[in-house]
Structure 1
Amino acid sequence: MSSRQPTLAKNLTYRLTWILLFAIVINVIVVGIYYSSDRESLEREAIEKQLSLLTKAFDDTDLNIRSQAKTLFRSHPQGYAFALLDHQGNLLDAENEALIPQQALHTDLFAQHWQTRLTTPEGVTLLMSQPVELPSGTARLIFAMHNDPGHLILRALASEFLTHIWIPILPVAVMMIGANHFMIRRGLRPVRHAANWARTIQPGIPAPPIEEENLPAEIDDLVHSTQRTLERLNIALLAEQRRGAEIAHALRTPIAVLTARLALLPAGDNTEKLCTDLASLARTVHQVLACSKADALDISSESRCELNQIATRITANLAPFAYERGVTLSLRPHTNPVIVRATQEGVELALVNLVENAVLHSGTQIIEITVGPGATLSVRDEGRGIPTESFHHVFDAFWRGEEAAEGGSGLGLAIVQRLQLAQKGSVTLSTSPKGGAEFTLFYSTENDARK
């Protein structure tokens, strides 16, 4: 049995999610290109962040920058530097002071915020100065960055992404995915109702009314078209069933008359052959009636029957039929009642056809009928068996094996399969331990229905 495919709601949600992710990726690329092109703004943002960290790390007691704020400068002594000067130009604290040009330390632009770029053979040095209000008075903080070995500019770009893309877009994306999934499920609810309604349809039974009202036009048209089609099919099926039953009933009377007249003929080989042929014809008529019953079998959700009782009754009824042909029927009931979800008539028809088929065509002397294990009925013989290559043909209507006995119609096993399918069961064929054939009928139980 193939695995269950994802629902339409899941497929649509997955596709919308991928479209949304694609839109986010495109947005990230566009924003990345935009911010990367404005390098001066990224440089200013990266330096201003470091100046802010240094300002917050000022120690009023020692009038210098706390050591934990100097990790960047000590990790990259050739890349970053800072200097803190008081309002008289005296150096209060510094790290890697050699990276800062002397003219920047002694500029007259003490109280102004300025930024400059110096290009040297060794690379580019960025300088920024800003006034700082300290408890002891106004000071000046100078920051220098040479070639950015600590990737401060890249961190500033990542911060822009976080601030302007991920933080505002991700919550919106999650809400959109959730809203889309909810709206898709709500929009497809009529489709689910129509699918559930379609699962309740059975051949030969009028389609039940659909509970959902105000269906979309497309679904409503599909439901009504299905109902009209089903009505036409049911009419055709009923006519076919009635025709087969009428023909079989019409043949039963002349067969009964012929049987009575043959009984008046003197005994002899010809009379015996005629009786055999007439018995075969009577059985064929019986199977045609069984076909009609299989097609018209009414299986309701409340149908229940007990397999031990059915097996006992059928064994007793068919024992004389088997005895006349030199076959012994053996029954192995289950120790506990076996209640299955099926109709008594359907189970009896299937079991009768299996036993009659074994009696007439297996060439065995013993047929064993077993109830269980589980919700199963088995008919096992010790005859010549069925070739493995023919297993997939035995349930075809009118198919008969090369070594099949004369007089059969090839309908018995096909009827069994149709009965099982009508009752949501199954039938299997295997080789019995003693070389014959073993047919097993499988049924569902209450526990199966709850799963």
Structure 2
Amino acid sequence: MTSGPSLVRQISVRLVAAAVIVSLIEIIGVLFLYSADHPKLAEEWVNAQSERIHAALTSGDASQLAQLDVPYGAEDWTFLVHDSKRHPRFQQDAKNAATFDPLPAPIDHDWTRIARDDSPIVLYGSRHLPNDAWLTIGVTGKSLPLFAPVFMREAYAHVIVPVAPVTILLLALNVFIVRRMLAPLSQAASEVDALDPSRMETRLSVPSTPREVRALVLAMNRALDRLAQAMQTLESFTADAAHEMRTPLSILKLRVEALEPGPAKNALREDVAAMTRLVNQMLDLAQADTLDAQLTQAVDLPTLARDVIERMLPVAVARGCDIELKNEGGGSIKGHAEALSRVLTNLIDNAIAHSPKNHSIDVVVGPGPRLIVRDRGPGFSRESAEHLFRRFWRGASPGRAGAGLGLAIAQSILSRHGATITADNAVDGGAVFTIQWIQESLS
């Protein structure tokens, strides 16, 4: 599932869109005001063409004046340039001379006049150029295309140039402020992602501002308090229930043993053994959640494996199997010896349950902080691999029926020891469970 854009980005995009809309409104407002003021537009148009003609006049190439194109939007035009002594220097004739009145001689001041205000418009103007020359110009054309460059020039000079830098600065400041204000929310999200179910005492850092984020974080912390309390109640109930069931099961086991031999007794014995195993696993699971403060013992892995194998060997022999220990340089780690013993016991017990008779189970220690348990059974399917460590999940196997808690308990205990457990199928058959500690060996 892909995540959407961040809140900072969404706010920033909306701020930019708002700034663009405001700028467009300002530009439209300028265009609207100028569109109704033809004298002002005519004056600005004559100014723009005066600059254009003056640039060609001072280029040093007299032919530049003759090569000037008709202005954008104009249908026809004519202009006359006088030198500083008011003598004609250059004249651009119109294509249709009848359109324009004769251009007058320059006078001592600039002027602009609209001879016809309907479409097409006809206007005249005169300007004193910087090189002391004089320009008189006439043009005709439809008002909208003729004045379009003036509109753009005015929008650029009165909207874009003065407003754009301020708008960009305000947008940058707004984005910076939004990012700073939402930083506590991003920090809270990171802390939520880092929450570990095995560390239920962890709480989110409470920011001083903004008030809304602070209220959200406080509410999440209260929710975590309630969740931790519920988990603690559930764990206590599981442990208490399992502990209370041990005595009735022991009594039931004694009564079953007192029965006459036969198929019914054997079936009851297997049922009681399965219930006893389930109760013990429930106790292991409840105790696995309280190991965090007890992981201080130096545990020698070869010694641990040897002790567990000695306890499990009679069970393996009764099933017609053998257990072989291979020490490849296993080291010591810091943890809880009894809990790790339960993990290895569960793995070997599973291997015994799934191994055929007259086959060996390998327990490999090392190199370094690593344990491997390998059987010669049928292994597991690719579909089963995704569920092996799920609580109460049991695969379809010919081995002894269980509650589906052994591997879940092992993973829970190992995660608190900073170790991982993985399951694979051996190339020549059988399942391989590998325990690897992330911490370095103590030896």
Normalising by structure 1, what TM-score?
0.71
Q: CA deviation at 1:176?
A: 1.9
* Cα deviation, residue 243, structure 1: 3.4
| Letter aligned with residue 238 of structure 1 | Q
Task: Compute the displacement of 1:281 (Å).
Answer: 4.4
Instruction: Say if 2:353 and 2:400, in contact at 8 Å, map to a contact too.
Output: no
**2:167: which partner in 1?**
173
> Cα distance 1:353–1:81, how it changes in 2: closer, same or farther (>3 A)?
farther
Residue equivalent to 2:108: 111
Per the TM alignment, residue 269 of structure 1 is displaced from its structure 2 partner at its CA by: 8.5
Give the match for residue 135 of structure 2.
141
Letter matched to residue 50 of structure 1: Q
5+ residue gaps, structure 1, are 447-451
Contact 1:241 1:296 in 2 (8 A): no
SS in 1 for 2:126: strand
1:313 paired with 2:304, answer: yes
- Say whether the 8 Å CA contact 1:262–1:275 is kept in structure 2: yes
Structure 2 residue aligned with 1:72, among 68, 72, 89? 68
Deviation at 1:404, TM superposition (A): 4.2
SS of the residue 1:72 aligns to: coil
Letter of the 1:84 partner, please give it.
Answer: V
**One-letter amino acid of the structure 1 residue matched with residue 164 of structure 2:** L
Given the superposition, is the C-alpha separation of residues 53 and 235 from structure 1 closer, same or farther in structure 2, using an over 3 Å criterion?
A: closer
Distance 2:93 2:417 in 1: 89
The match for 1:353 is 346
Q: What letter is aligned with 1:313? A: L
Q: In 2, are the aligned partners of 1:83 and 1:142 still within 8 Å (CA)?
A: yes
For the aligned residue pairs, the C-alpha RMSD in angstroms reads 5.2
How far 1:292 sits from its partner (Å)?
Answer: 0.6
CA pair 128-334 structure 1, distance change in 2 beyond 3 A: farther
The 3 A distance-change label for structure 1 pair 108 and 142 is closer
SS at match of 1:83: strand
CA 1:406–1:328: 2 relative to 1, 3 Å: closer
Provide the residue aligned with 2:403 in structure 1: 409
Q: Percent identity?
A: 27
> What is the match of residue 160 of structure 1?
154
CA contact (8 A) 1:78 1:99 kept: no
Cα separation, 1, equivalents of 2:146 and 2:32: 18
| SS class of match (1:405) | coil
Bigger Cα displacement from structure 2, 90-99 vs 40-49:
90-99
For residue 382 of structure 1, report the CA deviation from its aligned partner: 3.3
Q: Answer yes or no: is the 8 Å Cα contact 1:85–1:91 preserved in 2.
A: yes
Confirm or deny: 8 A CA contact 1:361 1:405 kept in the other structure.
Answer: yes
* 20-29 vs 70-79, greater mean Cα deviation: 70-79
| Equivalent position SS for 1:111 | coil
Q: After superposition, where does 1:268-279 map in structure 2 within 5 Å?
A: 279=273
The equivalent of 2:20 in structure 1 is 21
Name the SS of the counterpart of 1:296 in structure 2: coil
- The aligned counterpart of 1:289 is 283
Correspondence for 1:84: 81
1:8 alignment counterpart: 7
Q: Once structures 1 and 2 are overlaid, which stretch shifts more, 107-116 or 197-206?
A: 197-206
Note the C-alpha offset of 1:276: 5.8
CA pair 418-152 structure 1, distance change in 2 beyond 3 A: farther
Cα deviations across residues 29-68 of structure 1 (Å, max 9, x unaligned)?
44444444545533431321221343466559xxx97555
Given the alignment, which residue of 237, 252, 263 partners 1:243? 237
Structure 1 residue 127 and structure 2 residue 127: aligned? no
Kept in 2, the 8 Å contact 1:207–1:227? The answer is no
Pick which of 322-331 and 71-80 moved more.
71-80
Is the 2:82–2:134 Cα contact (8 Å) retained in structure 1? yes
Task: Give the letter for the 2:91 counterpart.
Answer: A
Please list, as runs of the form range in 1=range in 2, the aligned pairs for 1:420-431 lying within 5 A after superposition: 431=425
Letter matched to residue 182 of structure 1 = F
Change (3 A) 1:337 1:193: same
Moved more, 254-263 or 188-197: 254-263
Cα 1:212–1:249, aligned 2, differ >3 Å: closer, same or farther?
Answer: closer
In structure 2, what is the Cα distance between the partners aligned to 1:206 and 1:69? 86
The answer to whether the Cα contact below 8 Å between 1:201 and 1:207 also exists between their aligned partners in 2 is no
What CA deviation, in whole Å up to 9, does each residue of 1:153-191 have, x standing for no partner?
A: 433322222212222222222222221122222322443
Distance change (3 Å), C-alpha of 1:246 and 1:10: same
Partner letter of residue 354 of structure 1? L
Distance (whole Å) between structure 1 residues aligned to residue 368 and residue 115 of structure 2: 89
**Native 8 Å contact 2:327 2:365 kept in 1:** yes
Distance 1:387 1:198, change over 3 A: closer
Q: Secondary structure at the match of 2:81?
A: strand
Question: TM-score normalized by structure 2?
Answer: 0.72
Q: What amino acid is the match of 2:347?
A: L
Q: Kindly tell me: are residues 400 and 126 of structure 1, through their superposed partners in 2, closer, same or farther at Cα, counting changes over 3 Å?
A: same
- Is 1:48 aligned to 2:47, yes or no? yes
- Would you say the 8 A contact 2:256–2:269 is kept in 1? yes
Counterpart Cα distance in 2 of 1:79 and 1:424:
88
CA 1:95–1:423 in structure 2 vs 1: closer, same or farther (change >3 Å)? Answer: farther
Find the residue that maps to 1:286 and give its secondary structure.
Answer: helix
CA distance in 2, matches of 1:239, 1:281: 23
